[in-house]
C-alpha cells in the first residue's frame, strides 16, 4: 500500500503549482449519499470536511452527538481525535529541535535521567516507534476502566511501564508504540517546563487560530463535545471511560474536522516546522520500511487510487478518526466518528471521500451469481512475493485464504472481479493470462501492490481435526478478560466450541491438539493454559502477536 515519497521541497512545488481542483459537480450529492449509507441518522455518526488549497469546500454531518438527548452532530461538534494527536506532539519536538533546544539524536537520558536504558534510546526513536520499550496499551489487563477512568500525572503514567522489560532493543524493530509518545510528552515538559498540551496550545493551536484543538481533560466543560459510544450484543452503548491524561501526548487532543483541515494546510505549507524537519517528519524511516510500513513522525505515507498521500488516523474509547492529505492536489480530507465500533469503518469512509474528491472514485459493485463451474479451473494456490494465497469454494462460497492467515469470502461482482465485500474497498481479479494460465491480482484498498500471481497448484487437503474429549472441552468453556475486553468460550453443539471477543461475532474453534485450536477463517490460534489442574487463561496468537486473556 505504501510507496516511496517525495520530500517537502518537491511537495511544496507541487502544491503551489496545482491548479484548482474544482470538486466534481456531483460531489456533494454523492458525499451526502455516502454519509447517509454509512451512518444511521439516530445513532452515533460522523463529521466530515474536505478542503482544497486551505479553503473548506465541503462539510457533512450525520448521526447523533448525544444519542439519548437526540443532539445531532454538526460541523461544530467536537470529537476526541485519538492518535492524530501524535503529529501535534511530534511537531512541538521538531520546533524545539529547530530552536536548538534539543537534538533528535539526543539520548532520552539527557531529559529523563531515571528512565531505564534511556542512554540507548534516542528522541528520534521515540518519534518513529522504534524505541523497543513496552507499549502500555498492550500490557495484559491494563486497559480497563479500573485504570483508565482516573487521572494521571505524566510521572505516574510513565511509572506504569518504565519498570517493564523492553520487548526489543532500541532501533531494532518498528512497532507502533503509545509509550513512546507518552515519553515524547514527558520530553516536551522537561525541555519547556510546561505541560505538553500547554506547549501545543501556545506553539500551534493559538498561533494558527485552531479554536477547538485542545487537551481533552475537561471534556465536560465543552458544550459541543460529542459523547463516545461502542457496541455490544445489545447494540449501541456508552464507551468505556477514559480520562484524557491516559492517552496524553499519544492521543489526548480534541477538536473539529475543520480545525484539523486548517492544521493540515499549515503543516504541509511550511507554517509549523522548518522544511528540513518537515522532510524528516513525513519521510518514511528506514526502520519502518524494513517492517513494511511508511511511517515518519506521527504521519504515514501511502496511496489512494494511485495518488500519493500523507495521513494518520486515531482510535480511542468512543471515537474513531481518519485524515489524509494529497500534496499534488493540495486536498485534505478528515472524517471523525463518535464510536469506536462505527457502523462503517472510518478508514473506508475517508478513502472513499478522498478518492471522490480527486476525481478517482472507488468502483461500486453489485453482487452477481457465483459460477462455480467456470471458477473450478481457477481454484488453488497462487504464489505472491510475501505469501501464498488459496482460492477455494466451500458451502457455495468463494473463499480467499492466506496460509496461517484470515479467510475472507469473495463476492462475484461481474467479469473477472470478486469483491471482499460490497461496502469494502478491496477486490480480487481472477482470470487466465495470454498464455492461458490462471493468474490472480489483489487490490487491497483498491491498490495493486504485488502484481499478478501465478497459479502453482490445487487446493491442499484440509488438516485432520483432533478429537478432544468432551469433558476436556467443557473445562475450557467460560468467560475471560483480555486487554481488548471480555472473551467468551462457549459450546456450539456436541464436541464443538466457539470463541467471541467483545463486539465481534462468535467464531468456531477447530481442535489441533488437546489444548490448541485454530480460529476458523480468521487465521488465529488459541491455546488454553492450565496451572495446578485448572484452566487459568487462554492465549490468542495472530500475525506474530499474542493476546492473553485471564479466566474470570
Domain final position from 435, 457, 479? 457
Domain-located, residue 133: yes
**Cell 522548518, located at residue:** 274
Backbone angles phi, psi at 523, to 5 degrees: 75, 30
* Same domain, yes or no: 169 and 207: yes
Domain final position from 333, 357, 381? 357
More confident residue, 246 or 546: 246
Q: Which residues 6+ apart lie within 8 Å of 408 measured at CB? A: 399, 400, 401, 420, 521
Domain that holds residue 238: 8-357
Domain-located, residue 362: no
Task: Tell which phi-psi region holds residue 426, choosing left (phi > 0), alpha (psi between -120 and 50) or beta.
Answer: beta
* Same domain, yes or no: 333 and 390: no
Q: How far apart are CA 520 and CA 508, in angstroms?
A: 6
* Same domain, yes or no: 326 and 379: no
Q: Average of pLDDT values for 548-552?
A: 89
Residue 461 has pLDDT above 90, yes or no: no
* Same domain, yes or no: 245 and 324: yes
* Same domain, yes or no: 414 and 446: yes
Q: Is 76 helix (H, G, I), strand (E, B) or coil?
A: coil
Q: Average of pLDDT values for 487-514?
A: 86
Q: How far apart are CA 393 and CA 475, in angstroms?
A: 34
* Same domain, yes or no: 309 and 404: no
* Same domain, yes or no: 382 and 282: no
Domain final position from 308, 324, 357? 357
Number of Cβ within a 10 Å radius of residue 45: 30
Residue 296 has pLDDT above 60, yes or no: yes
Residue 194 belongs to domain with CATH number: 3.40.710.10
Mean pLDDT of the chain: 91
Q: Is 388 exposed, middle or buried (0-12, 13-18, 19+ CB in 10 A)?
A: middle
- How many domains are there within the chain? 3
pLDDT the model gives residue 3: 29
Domain-located, residue 363: no
CA distances (Å), 545 to each of 37, 134, 138, 541, 542, in order?
A: 35, 14, 11, 6, 5
Element (H, E) at 409: strand 407-412
* Same domain, yes or no: 444 and 497: no
Q: What is the pLDDT of residues 429-438, one digit of tens each?
A: 999 999 999 9
**Residue from 537, 361, 530, 390 nearest 457 by CA:** 390
Q: In this structure, what C-alpha cell is assigned to residue 41? A: 441518522
* Same domain, yes or no: 109 and 164: yes
Q: How far apart are CA 166 and CA 181, in angstroms?
A: 15
Q: How far apart are CA 102 and CA 115, in angstroms?
A: 18
Strand-pairing partners, residue 62, are 46
Q: Average of pLDDT values for 257-275?
A: 98
Domain-located, residue 1: no
Residue 499 has pLDDT above 80, yes or no: yes
Residue 18 has pLDDT above 60, yes or no: no
Domain-located, residue 523: yes
* Percent of the chain surpassing pLDDT 90: 77
DSSP 218: G
Number of Cβ within a 10 Å radius of residue 525: 18
* Same domain, yes or no: 151 and 249: yes
Structural contact between residues 480 and 497, judged by C-beta atoms closer than 8 angstroms? no
What torsion, rounded to 10 degrees, do the Cα atoms 386, 388, 394, 396 define? 70
pLDDT the model gives residue 193: 98
Q: How far apart are CA 544 and CA 291, in angstroms?
A: 13
Structural contact between residues 426 and 443, judged by C-beta atoms closer than 8 angstroms? yes
Residue 432 belongs to domain with CATH number: 2.40.128.50
Residue 185 has pLDDT above 50, yes or no: yes
Strand-pairing partners, residue 479, are 488
* Same domain, yes or no: 125 and 96: yes
pLDDT the model gives residue 505: 77
Residue 139 has pLDDT above 90, yes or no: no
- What is the pLDDT confidence band of residue 521, given thresholds at 50, 70 and 90? low
Which of 179-188, 189-198, 469-478 comes out lowest in average pLDDT? 469-478
Backbone angles phi, psi at 492, to 5 degrees: -135, 65
Domain-located, residue 55: yes
* Same domain, yes or no: 327 and 398: no
Strands in 328-396 per DSSP E: 331-337, 380-383, 389-394
Q: How far apart are CA 74 and CA 336, in angstroms?
A: 11
Amino acid at each position: 500500500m505504501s510507496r516511496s515519497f517525495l520530500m517537502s521541497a518537491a511537495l511544496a512545488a507541487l502544491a503551489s503549482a496545482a491548479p484548482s481542483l474544482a470538486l466534481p459537480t456531483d460531489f456533494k450529492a454523492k458525499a451526502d449519499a455516502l454519509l447517509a449509507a454509512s451512518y444511521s441518522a439516530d445513532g452515533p455518526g460522523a463529521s466530515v470536511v474536505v478542503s482544497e488549497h486551505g479553503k473548506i469546500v465541503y462539510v457533512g454531518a450525520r448521526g447523533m452527538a448525544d444519542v439519548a438527548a437526540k443532539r445531532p452532530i454538526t460541523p461544530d461538534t467536537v470529537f476526541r481525535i485519538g492518535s492524530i494527536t501524535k503529529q501535534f506532539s511530534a511537531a512541538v519536538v521538531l520546533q524545539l529541535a529547530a530552536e536548538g533546544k534539543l537534538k533528535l539524536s539526543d539520548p532520552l537520558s539527557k531529559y529523563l535521567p531515571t528512565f531505564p536504558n534511556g542512554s540507548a534510546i534516542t528522541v528520534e526513536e521515540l518519534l518513529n516507534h522504534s524505541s523497543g520499550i513496552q507499549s502500555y496499551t498492550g500490557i495484559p489487563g491494563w486497559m480497563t476502566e479500573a485504570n483508565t477512568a482516573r487521572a494521571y500525572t505524566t510521572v505516574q503514567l510513565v511509572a506504569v511501564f518504565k519498570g517493564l522489560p523492553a520487548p526489543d532493543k532500541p532501533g531494532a524493530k518498528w512497532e507502533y508504540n503509545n509509550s513512546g509518545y507518552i515519553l515524547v510528552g514527558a520530553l516536551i515538559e522537561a525541555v519547556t517546563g510546561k505541560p505538553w498540551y500547554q506547549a501545543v496550545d501556545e506553539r500551534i493551536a493559538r498561533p494558527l487560530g485552531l479554536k477547538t484543538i485542545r487537551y481533552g481533560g475537561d471534556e465536560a466543560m465543552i458544550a459541543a463535545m460529542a459523547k463516545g459510544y461502542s457496541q455490544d450484543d445489545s447494540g449501541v452503548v456508552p464507551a468505556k471511560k477514559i480520562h484524557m491524561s491516559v492517552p496524553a501526548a499519544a492521543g489526548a487532543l480534541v477538536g473539529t474536522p475543520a480545525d484539523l483541515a486548517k492544521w493540515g494546510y499549515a503543516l504541509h505549507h511550511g507554517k509549523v516546522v522548518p522544511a528540513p524537519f518537515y522532510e524528516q517528519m513525513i519521510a518514511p524511516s528506514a526502520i519502518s520500511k524494513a517492517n513494511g510500513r511508511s511511517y515518519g513522525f506521527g504521519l504515514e505515507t501511502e496511496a489512494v487510487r494511485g495518488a500519493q498521500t500523507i495521513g494518520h488516523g486515531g482510535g480511542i474509547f468512543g471515537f474513531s478518526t481518519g485524515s489524509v492529505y494529497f500534496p499534488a492536489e493540495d486536498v485534505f480530507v478528515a472524517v471523525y466518528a463518535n464510536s469506536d465500533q462505527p457502523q462503517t469503518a472510518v478508514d473506508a469512509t475517508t478513502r472513499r471521500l478522498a478518492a471522490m474528491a480527486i476525481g478517482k472514485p472507488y468502483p461500486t459493485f453489485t453482487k452477481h451469481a457465483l459460477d462455480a463451474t467456470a471458477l473450478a479451473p481457477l481454484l488453488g494456490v497462487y504464489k505472491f512475493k510475501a505469501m501464498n494465497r488459496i482460492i477455494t469454494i466451500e458451502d457455495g462460497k468463494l473463499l480467499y485464504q492466506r496460509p496461517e492467515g484470515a479467510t475472507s469470502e469473495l463476492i462475484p461482482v461481474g467479469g473477472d472481479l470478486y469483491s471482499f465485500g460490497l461496502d469494502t474497498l478491496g477486490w480480487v481479479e481472477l482470470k487466465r493470462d495470454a498464455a492461458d494460465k490462471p493468474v490472480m491480482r489483489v487490490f487491497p484498498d483498491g491498490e495493486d501492490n504485488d502484481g499478478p500471481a501465478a497459479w502453482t497448484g490445487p487446493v491442499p487437503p484440509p488438516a485432520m481435526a483432533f478429537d478432544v474429549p468432551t469433558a476436556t472441552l467443557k473445562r475450557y468453556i467460560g468467560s475471560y478478560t483480555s486487554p481488548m475486553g471480555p472473551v467468551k468460550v462457549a459450546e456450539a453443539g456436541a464436541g464443538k466450541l466457539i470463541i467471541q471477543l467483545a463486539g465481534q461475532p462468535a467464531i468456531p474453534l477447530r481442535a489441533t491438539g488437546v489444548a490448541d485450536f485454530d480460529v476458523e477463517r480468521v487465521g488465529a490460534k488459541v491455546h488454553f493454559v492450565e496451572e495446578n489442574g485448572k484452566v487459568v487463561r487462554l492465549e490468542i496468537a495472530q500475525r506474530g502477536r499474542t493476546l492473553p486473556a485471564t479466566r474470570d
